[in-house]
């Protein structure tokens, strides 16, 4: 394993201090848990002379309930989120997503903000420096060609974070701090469909927190397919939130990860409201998911498999939640 390059480490006391430090060092990088940043620095994927350590910013580790919502600071670890009783009882999709990231030792350090801002990657980018050089690099690292889609002018590196799709179906909002103050936006608007600029943040902004509504009457879940049962990023991840009224669908929300350069919210499911979960509804779910899937050759697993398995996984989850709600109502 290559050694970490030399860098200056700064220690802000507040989020505002971190913003000021970033302004003084435009090429700097924020460090939270470091489970993604530090390995990428060792591999030469990220180059910076200044690292801003957010570990001493107490406001980023705040976790509390407020006015029918759960406030989660960007520095709260995934282990804390997964073990939180409110998350387990009211937001199971979030609990399952957090508990499924990497391995237990990673989750103790990895943070909410780190997973939401996870670097996009593909099998051409996420390699050793000598391998990348031998393959003439890629669009994400200074080449003029995306190795995933060689005729494309854009980068198709995939976003593989687990938390984002869970928060999408739970209707969460993110809080971003910058030199001009704080702005709040739906988490779906936090992402762009581009492997290089996949976050809708300017370089001088910082993700501060997420607010998740604590709604009643919803059932939710998150599952993913990966090569190994732990450690690996998802080949495809699916989050589902379902609200049922008697024998009809009141509302259904599905979001995906690992299949695009951003987490994808599945559109067009509003038409299912007021209808039973029958073969017709499941066919619509399959069709809408296939329209939302943009899986490319970003892993060693064949693209057709990932495209086929995603709607299958989603339908199984929807059916399971449907029956679970039915049981709880009986």
- pLDDT at position 142 over 90: no
Considering only residues 329 and 101, tell me which one the structure prediction assigns the higher pLDDT: 101
How far is 233 from 268, CA to CA, in rounded Å?
A: 27
- pLDDT at position 20 over 90: yes
CATH pick for 63-116+158-329 out of 3.90.1150.200, 3.30.390.50, 3.90.226.10, 3.40.630.10: 3.30.390.50
Q: Are 166 and 70 in contact (CB under 8 A)?
A: no
Model confidence at 328, in pLDDT bands (50, 70, 90)?
A: low
Nearest CA to 94 among 106, 112, 69, 120? Answer: 112
Looking at residue 184, what is its pLDDT?
A: 98
- pLDDT at position 124 over 90: no
Residues 50-65 have a mean pLDDT of: 98
Q: Are 172 and 165 in contact (CB under 8 A)?
A: no
Integer-rounded Cα radius of gyration of the chain: 20
Q: What percent of the chain has pLDDT over 90?
A: 84
Looking at residue 206, what is its pLDDT?
A: 98
- For 249-296, write each residue's pLDDT tens digit: 999 999 999 999 999 999 999 999 999 999 999 999 999 999 988 889
The residue extents of the domains of the chain are 1-56, 63-116+158-329
E strands, 234-280, are: 236-245, 248-257, 264-265
Looking at residue 229, what is its pLDDT?
A: 82
Query: By mean pLDDT, which of 39-43, 91-95, 221-225, 287-291 is the weakest?
Result: 39-43
Residues 82-111 have a mean pLDDT of: 97
- pLDDT at position 100 over 90: yes
- For 28-45, write each residue's pLDDT tens digit: 999 999 999 999 999 889
CATH pick for 1-56 out of 3.40.50.620, 3.40.50.1820, 3.40.50.300, 3.30.43.10: 3.30.43.10
Nearest CA to 252 among 318, 309, 323? Answer: 318
């Amino acid at each position: 394993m290559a050694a970490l390059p030399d860098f200056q480490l700064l220690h802000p006391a507040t989020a505002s201090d971190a913003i000021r430090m970033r302004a003084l060092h435009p090429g700097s990088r924020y460090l939270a848990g470091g489970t993604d940043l530090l390995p990428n620095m060792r591999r030469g994927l990220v180059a910076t002379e200044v690292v801003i350590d957010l570990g001493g910013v107490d406001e980023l580790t705040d976790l509390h309930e407020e006015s029918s919502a759960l406030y989660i600071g960007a520095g709260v670890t995934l282990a804390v989120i997964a073990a939180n009783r409110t998350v387990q009882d009211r937001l199971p999709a979030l609990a399952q997503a957090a508990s499924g990231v990497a391995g237990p030792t990673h989750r103790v350090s990895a943070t909410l903000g780190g997973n939401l801002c996870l670097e996009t990657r593909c099998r051409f980018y996420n390699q050793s420096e000598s391998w990348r050089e031998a393959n003439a690099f890629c669009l994400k690292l200074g080449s003029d060609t995306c190795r995933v889609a060689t005729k494309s002018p854009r980068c198709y590196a995939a976003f593989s974070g687990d938390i984002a799709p869970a928060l999408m179906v739970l209707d969460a909002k993110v809080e971003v701090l910058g030199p001009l103050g704080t702005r709040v936006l739906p988490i779906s608007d936090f992402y762009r469909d581009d492997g290089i600029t996949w976050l809708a943040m300017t370089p001088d902004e910082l993700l501060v927190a997420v607010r998740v509504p604590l709604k009643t009457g919803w059932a939710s879940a998150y599952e993913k397919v990966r090569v190994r049962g732990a450690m690996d990023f998802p080949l495809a991840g699916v989050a589902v939130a379902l609200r049922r009224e008697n024998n009809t669908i009141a509302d259904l929300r599905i979001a995906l990860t690992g299949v695009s350069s951003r987490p994808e919210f599945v559109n067009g499911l509003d038409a299912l409201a007021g209808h039973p979960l029958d073969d017709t509804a499941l066919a619509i779910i399959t069709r809408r998911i296939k329209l939302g899937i943009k899986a490319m050759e970003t892993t060693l697993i064949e693209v057709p498999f990932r495209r086929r398995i995603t709607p299958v996984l989603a339908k199984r989850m929807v059916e399971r939640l449907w029956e679970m709600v039915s049981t709880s109502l009986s």
